[in-house]
Amino acid sequence: CRRRRPRRRRRHRHRPQGPGGGSAGAPPLPGRGARPCAARPPPRPGMCSFLATSWLIANLTHVNFFLRPRGPDHTVLTSLHGFSFVHNLLHMTGDWVSQPFIDAQHALAALYNGEVYNFEALAASADPPRSDGDVLLPMYRKYGAVFPRVLDGEFALVVFDFRRGLAVLATDAFATKPLWFSVHGGLHVASYKSALLRLGVPSDGIRMAEPNAVTVFSLGAGGGARVARRHTLHEFDLRQFKEDTGDFQAAFERAVLKRARHGLHPAFVGLSSGYDSGAIHAALARAGVAHFAYTVYSTEDEATLARRIEWAGPVAETRLVVLGGGDLEREAGHLAALCEPFRYRAARGQRLAVAEDPASSGLSYIFREARRRGILVYLSGSGADEIISDYGHGGVRIFPHSNFGGLFPGDLALLFPWPSFFLGTQRDYLMKEELVAGTHGVEARYPFLDRRVVQEFLWLSEASKNAKYKAPVHDWLARLGYPFRPGEKLGFNAAHNVRWEEGRSLVATYNARDAPHDISGARDSDPPPSGGRERWRRSAAEGGRERWRR
């Protein structure tokens, strides 16, 4: 496909080069020069959205309304074997790769959203694939409908086998990427439910794709479709035999690094003073991976945050934000207009729509700022609370939506899968991150939901799981000497400490570095001089905390 051409300057096939031959503005790793173009990672397509339907699409702009921001760089409409395929691309690296992927010889087509991290190992050709999605159809030909079992990644996909009259729909084990389908009057598959509703499919005929499942549809000659069979994607081993958390720590570090290093765009973390974002931050800093951190200063522990900034040093730029009331209201309006409608469903959880959640507005502010600077990969701590702690410890619920108070039994089969392992707050909060990030064209990745990381946790003995709050994460942070407060659940709460009477947010930058769109050297805020941290803290307290309390 062809690139879009901006009005003011012509873009070439590859990214512009910065000093030393690396991509312009891409931060080099500490102690290294800029990465030369020849050493560029293999191309990957990044986040996108898609729709496949056996109906004609009368008004693409209307149907594609909520899907489009998720893939803002390019939209393709293709007709094939009586189906309409729509693909919206967020371009991350390398050549632009349009979808659907097509194998005309075997009458196959595929649509896909996400990342397959092991695609190079799966590729049989000596030539590097254009994108990770290039392995989907060869894997389908090799393994049949259960081919998603060999994919290591975060994905939602559908493969059409027109010769055999089949369609295969699957997500990764935790359905980190949204996917909906309907067999009302044909077969319809989309990243968002709204696309199917706007297509004319009735709401009661639309279903969300099940996590950890492969669904096979039979395509009828008259355009009808039915569910033919389902396969389990991954069988977790429920034996509990490991007394040491070292294997979990190694798996977690690998999960963070493979997500951070895929693509030329740098990654960022939403850094709180709690365990989960801190664990990701520590893994990146330990490996010397240059990255960015954004902190909304609300209920965070000041001393812990200050020590974390100092611990990471120049490898991570950190921006601390006290949200202004005007900024928060603007983000709420943005989400009301552009966020895919979705209401939380977990038992004993919040009864809100994603766009109504104050945390969503705070996330939206961070995503907007990161997107503006060309930082398009978000490493999320989502999933750790649902799997490693169940929002509790030792049988005591920290939050009402805890399922069993974080007290793991001797026989895990009696409990597995607990309600929020795949669904519940797992589904709700993944949807929040995906839908809010999607309005800004930012890709979210989830190292705590890496299949190997989850398996290593399940293999820990009952005593090891229950020894401490989030025991394996505790051990990881303690081993690195990374600042944290043992046993405390601390996290993101955007609605506290807001400067309601002020329009703009306060921002302080520490260990500033250039982002891809900072190539001129200009930054929004310079690093504070000596003593700036205390002045920033005083202004934060004076600007919002007391007004919020009143």
Closest to 87 in 3D by CA, of 60, 119, 117, 55: 60
C-alpha R_g of the chain: 23
User: What is residue 262's predicted lDDT score, i.e. its pLDDT?
Assistant: 77
Percentage of the residues of the chain whose pLDDT score is greater than 90? 70
Q: What is the pLDDT of residues 50-64, one digit of tens each?
A: 999 999 999 999 999
Per-residue pLDDT at 13 exceeds 70:
no
Q: What is the pLDDT of residues 458-471, one digit of tens each?
A: 999 999 999 999 99
Residue 430's pLDDT band (cuts 50, 70, 90): very high
Q: What is the pLDDT of residues 469-481, one digit of tens each?
A: 999 999 999 999 9
User: What is residue 521's predicted lDDT score, i.e. its pLDDT?
Assistant: 36
d(CA 301, CA 25): 33
Task: Put the strands of the sheet holding 101-103 in their side by side order.
Answer: 101-103, 108-116, 153-161, 166-171, 213-219, 225-232
Q: What is the pTM of this model?
A: 0.85
d(CA 28, CA 26): 6
- DSSP-assigned beta bridge partners for residue 115: 154
CATH of 245-515 among 3.30.160.100, 3.40.630.30, 3.40.50.620, 3.30.70.20: 3.40.50.620
Percentage of the residues of the chain whose pLDDT score is greater than 70? 83
User: What is residue 92's predicted lDDT score, i.e. its pLDDT?
Assistant: 57
Do residues 447 and 269 lie in contact, with contact meaning Cβ atoms separated by under 8 Å?
no
Per-residue pLDDT at 2 exceeds 50:
no
Delimit the domains of the chain by residue range: 49-232, 245-515
Q: Which two tokens stand for residue 138?
A: 């060869």
SS (H, E, C) 104-137: CCCCEEEEEEEEECCHHHHCCCCCCCCCHHHHHH
Mean pLDDT of 290-307: 90
For the chain, the average pLDDT equals 85
Residue 536's pLDDT band (cuts 50, 70, 90): very low
**Residue 428 phi, psi (nearest 5):** -60, -50
- DSSP-assigned beta bridge partners for residue 296: 321
Task: Put the strands of the sheet holding 180-182 in their side by side order.
Answer: 74-80, 83-89, 48-53, 188-190, 180-182, 206-208
d(CA 546, CA 81): 63
Compare 118 and 550 and report the one with higher pLDDT.
118
The Cα-based distances of 328 to 62, 322, 547 in angstroms read 28, 10, 15
- Worst-scoring range by mean pLDDT, 7-21, 42-56, 273-287, 511-525? 7-21
- DSSP-assigned beta bridge partners for residue 83: 80
Place of tokens 């931050």: 281
Per-residue pLDDT at 196 exceeds 70:
yes
Residue 29 DSSP one-character state: P
Mean pLDDT of 111-137: 87
Residue 383 DSSP one-character state: T
d(CA 116, CA 262): 10
Mean pLDDT of 375-399: 95
User: What is residue 518's predicted lDDT score, i.e. its pLDDT?
Assistant: 67
Spacing of C-alpha 152 from chain mean position: 15
The CA angle 6-337-547, to the nearest 5 degrees, is 110
Q: Which residues make Cβ contacts (< 8 Å) with residue 166, sequence separation at least 6?
A: 145, 160, 216, 217, 218, 219, 228
Q: What is the pLDDT of residues 218-263, one digit of tens each?
A: 999 777 899 999 999 999 999 999 999 999 999 999 999 999 987 7
Mean pLDDT of 178-182: 98
**Residue 501 phi, psi (nearest 5):** -90, 0
Q: What is the pLDDT of residues 202-211, one digit of tens each?
A: 999 999 999 9
d(CA 526, CA 518): 13
Do residues 65 and 94 lie in contact, with contact meaning Cβ atoms separated by under 8 Å?
no
d(CA 381, CA 543): 29
Closest to 179 in 3D by CA, of 40, 269, 51: 51
Residue 495's pLDDT band (cuts 50, 70, 90): low
Per-residue pLDDT at 183 exceeds 80:
yes
User: What is residue 482's predicted lDDT score, i.e. its pLDDT?
Assistant: 97
Do residues 48 and 376 lie in contact, with contact meaning Cβ atoms separated by under 8 Å?
no
Do residues 388 and 276 lie in contact, with contact meaning Cβ atoms separated by under 8 Å?
no
Q: Does domain 49-232 have CATH number 3.60.20.10?
A: yes
Per-residue pLDDT at 360 exceeds 80:
yes
Find the DSSP H helices in 22-168.
60-63, 119-122, 136-143
